[in-house]
Structure 1
């Protein structure tokens, strides 16, 4: 292998690293070659991976990790593609990345996550993005003339632990805190005789072809020990509304609506959100029930903390004759926490949200998600990006898992929606634990759908990201013939899912 340190001796070094993605990025190689031809006094080294080798710059397909890190420290400027892992490594080595995003329309990647990720980094001052050869040349000239502008304090150390810390720091920087993310204690309950004026709460209950379960859900909302008014908005999706449920008397009103937005769960939730005339909006699925103290405990947090936008709580999972309690033992959850883990305890039937945070803030429930699968998790991510989510660490909602659940067996919808999530949130690639979790879910869905080749591809993706990810091995077992239903039943009896 060429001794790049020796060949660049006496000249400033520009290092270009394109990672190991199998899509060619010849456009960037051409830009760098053009710069090298016009700057013979600069040593330009390109790690080009699957792209064609440069003709004017020095090139190598791959560099071992030690040599790559050494060259990054030696370089006056480091140019990268928009891969989160590569950008994290450059910053860890004390260099401000000059990032050029791969464009899927040019066949440089499968989706546009690099375009969106690099834009976010540039806006946050965490990288310099370039969209043309002229802009790249001008940025490199500036880096050579003013090297201090392209030096940062790197994160010391090496290996997986240091990489994880660097990734976490980058996520934190990308997620400007609205308020403290410390896991502070919840405010104490209101003392007797000192109760505030309790605000009206609107509860959105989407429903579809489950009248018996729906009536049980409505009863659990009606018997809340909450002193304020509760208006329940029952939104019928793909079903004729049952107006006999309506009751506009007293302080436990029930209004019946038809879905006026996109068909599906997301559109039904948004129909209720837009119809609500209250500051606080809660969700409850039509097969779940609230325990009597649920709403009061959450509203107390909202009253004590005007900046809090979302409060959740724990759940009791019921499946067949088994019941398991799932309670998160913390009171604060951050965006980085949710990238790493779905935190199933934060179920949508536990959500109490400030309506303004959605209508005039991060937006309502996303109706573009295929089949509305995982719309609750995606909303959690958006709200957590604005500020930490608060959690009451006790079970206050009974969640029913059963074979009539809407997504039972809809494997292709599940796979498509999860792939959409990974493309929409490129930050997952900075968190191997979280990326492997979602990739493993995709692998399981593809295996359960009988799509063997796709399943094997996602199994490999999962285990490359995190060799100990159990979902990869569950997916492999299903691919080899173990019935997916048997796996799910075993997990559900323990209050767990894939």
Structure 2
């Protein structure tokens, strides 16, 4: 995660009633520009109470600040405030309008390193044209809009029910953004269907793909055959590959859309392209070489319906390698951040992920596109979501996961090593969990040994053993250093449903 300033932030007291609330969301990109603008305003208005929820940005020096607030608490602060200022995240804007405010919005700018792309700039522009926000792009404009809102509060108020379902309204507005202009010919996004209360929610399944047409069609069939009463829309995202318009289908309860990855090439960008193109509350991931078992989605959505506060549900898997199947299921129904630091928990495979879309767009952020080669992007997303709340797990297999020699990361040892080192740098908490640090360090050692970098491998073997002498990956890496082919080791592990 982004480094924080050393200045301690001020957690607001329960009785505080801020005049101005500024919410920057929880995206891992810093948005220091908006914090500075707010502090400049606070210096000139010492009589006002200003609260900044600054996420991973530098804490304010003058205004009160807190990195994160639970959603209900942030909503309460917004309702108490006279003015609400937000970044351009759809979920934050929705929350401000739900609290009765016409928000003042500053969009993140990718050229300043504030986001991965320009979708906030486009999104906010569309919302301003529709009269749903007041946008600003300079500190002078921000100051003027806050002054205007304080002087004429009724001009910056909306009825919380005026949107007719604010979340859907914001998400539909987002579809106006031309993020997916490269989509192939075929049916466009279906109009959202308004269903009666208690109905099964619509789900969007994001399937990234590259050069695996036969496996992809098998994956799509498994989604189509789900024993799920609600509508399932599949978005197939072609990544560095020619899209196949013949896959697109608009009719029935199982439509399929075909798009191309418009973001960073790789799994992370492809998944984010699909998430941004979705218009449903729930999104699921499935890789193009995996297949869902018939009852998988229904079982997960039942958990979501019963527990509105749950943001993510996973399930067990069956690993298939060379016609050998091995079941991998956790014997627990809840997974915490600490659990994930200690172990990768391979059972929580990305093809099992079912996530509330808002938890990403206005929660922990979308899939990280900064990880080298997108390796481990699923694990890093798990860590961020688990930081917010425990992840629910169904301790039975719901997905068949195919491990094979055509895996994208097979043999990409330098990419794997670089990505894992990035992970250790971004999550210093691993240092507090020797077992977890040793696990990742051992994986790096194995990757370096497999890449033929003997010196680096020995260094990481030493680091692994210093943290945990019983970590087996250090000894596997040592075997590779001594000349054992890494393929022999990985094959032996895969036959047992395991990996390095």
Distance 1:339 1:291, change over 3 A: same
Distance 1:221 1:416, change over 3 A: same
Residue 175 of structure 1 contacts residue 386 of structure 1 at CA under 8 Å; is this kept in 2?
A: no
1:5-58 residue CA offsets vs partner (Å, 9 max, x unmatched): xxxxxxxxxxxxxxxxxxxxxxxxxxxxxxxxxxxxxxxxxxxxxxxxxxxxxx
User: 8 Å contact 1:117–1:426 — kept in the other structure?
Assistant: no
**Corresponding residue number in structure 2 for 1:143:** none
Distance 2:201 2:247 in 1: 24
Residue number among 368, 371, 374 corresponding to 1:372 in the alignment = 374
Which residue of 455, 458, 461 maps to 2:457? 455
Aligned partner of 1:214 among 213, 216, 219: 216
Contact kept, 8 Å, 1:178 with 1:386, in 2: the verdict is no
Give me the whole-angstrom Cα distance separating, in 2, the residues matched to 1:485 and 1:397.
25
Q: Does 1:446 align with 2:448?
A: yes
Q: How does 1:282-321 map to 2 (within 5 A)?
A: 282-321=284-323
Instruction: Indicate how the Cα distance of structure 1 residues 124 and 403 shifts in structure 2: closer, same or farther if over 3 A, else same.
Output: farther
Q: Distance in 2 between matches of 1:447 and 1:117?
A: 34
Distance (Å, rounded) in 2 between the aligned partners of 1:321 and 1:487: 18
Q: In 1, Cα distance between the equivalents of 2:430 and 2:68?
A: 13
Q: Of the candidates 393, 404, 407, which is equivalent to residue 405 of structure 1?
A: 407
Q: Indicate whether 1:116 and 2:3 are aligned.
A: yes
Helix, strand or coil: the match of 1:116?
coil
User: Secondary structure of the residue that 2:283 maps to in structure 1?
Assistant: strand
SS in 2 for 1:225: coil
1:323: which partner in 2? 325
Q: Distance in 1 between matches of 2:405 and 2:353?
A: 24
Deviation per CA, 1:144-163: give whole Å up to 9, x if none: xxxxxxxxxxxxxxxxxxxx
Structure 2 residue matching 1:292: 3-state secondary structure: coil
Residue 231 (structure 2) aligns with = 229
Structure 2 CA distance for partners of 1:480 and 1:275, relative to 1, 3 Å: same
- Residues in 2 aligned to 1:377 and 1:119: alpha-carbon distance in whole angstroms: 28
Name the residue aligned to 1:96. none
- 1:119 Cα deviation after fit: 4.5
List per-residue Cα deviations over 1:325-368 (Å, max 9, x = no partner): 00000000000000000000000000000000001111100000
How many Å apart are 1:124 and its aligned residue? 8.8
Match status 1:485 vs 2:372: no
Over 3 Å counting, the alpha-carbon distance change for 1:177 and 1:197 in structure 2 is same
* Residue 367 to residue 402, structure 1, CA distance change in 2 (3 Å): same
**Equivalent residues in 2 for 1:137-152, closer than 5 Å:** none
Find the residue that maps to 2:217 and give its secondary structure. helix
Give the match for residue 347 of structure 2.
345
Show the counterpart of 1:336: 338
Match in the other structure for 2:260: 258
CA contact 1:412–1:445 (8 Å) conserved in 2: yes
Cα separation, 1, equivalents of 2:378 and 2:338: 17
Q: Which residue of 1 aligns with 2:468?
A: 466
Structure 1 residue 177: Cα displacement: 8.7
Q: Measure how far apart 1:116 and its partner are.
A: 3.1
Root-mean-square deviation (CA), in Å? Answer: 2.0
Map 1:137-216 to 2 at 5 A.
Answer: 196-216=198-218
Partner of residue 361 from structure 1, selected from 343, 346, 363:
363
Question: Alpha-carbon deviation of 1:205?
Answer: 0.1
Match status 1:431 vs 2:433: yes
Aligned to 2:134: none
What is the SS of the residue equivalent to 1:421? helix
Q: Using the alignment, how far apart are the partners of 2:335 and 2:497 within structure 1?
A: 21
Q: How does 1:380-419 map to 2 (within 5 A)?
A: 380-419=382-421
Scaled by the length of structure 2, what TM-score is found? 0.62
Instruction: Give yes or no for contact 1:176–1:386 (8 Å, CA) kept in 2.
Output: no
After superposition, what is the alpha-carbon deviation per residue over 1:418-459, rounded to whole angstroms, capped at 9, x for unaligned?
000000000000000000000000000000000000000000
Question: Partners in 1 of 2:3 and 2:214 — Cα distance?
Answer: 45
* Distance in 1 of aligned mates of 2:496 and 2:5: 41
Partner of 1:281: 283
Deviations 1:138-194 (A, max 9, x none): xxxxxxxxxxxxxxxxxxxxxxxxxxxxxxxxxxxx999999xxxxxxxxxxxxxxx
Residues 265-314 of structure 1: per-residue CA shift (max 9 Å, x gap): 10000000000000000000000000000000000010111110000000
* Superimposed CA distance per residue, residues 231-270 of structure 1 (whole angstroms, 9 cap, x where no aligned partner): 0000000001000000110000000000011111100000
Match of 1:130 in 2: none
Give 1:11-22 correspondences, 5 Å limit. Answer: none
- The separation in 2 between residues aligned to 1:270 and 1:457, in whole angstroms, is 36
Shift of 1:321: 1.9
The gaps in structure 1 that reach 5 residues or longer are 1-112, 126-173, 180-194
Contact in 2 for aligned 1:175/1:335 (Cα 8 Å): no
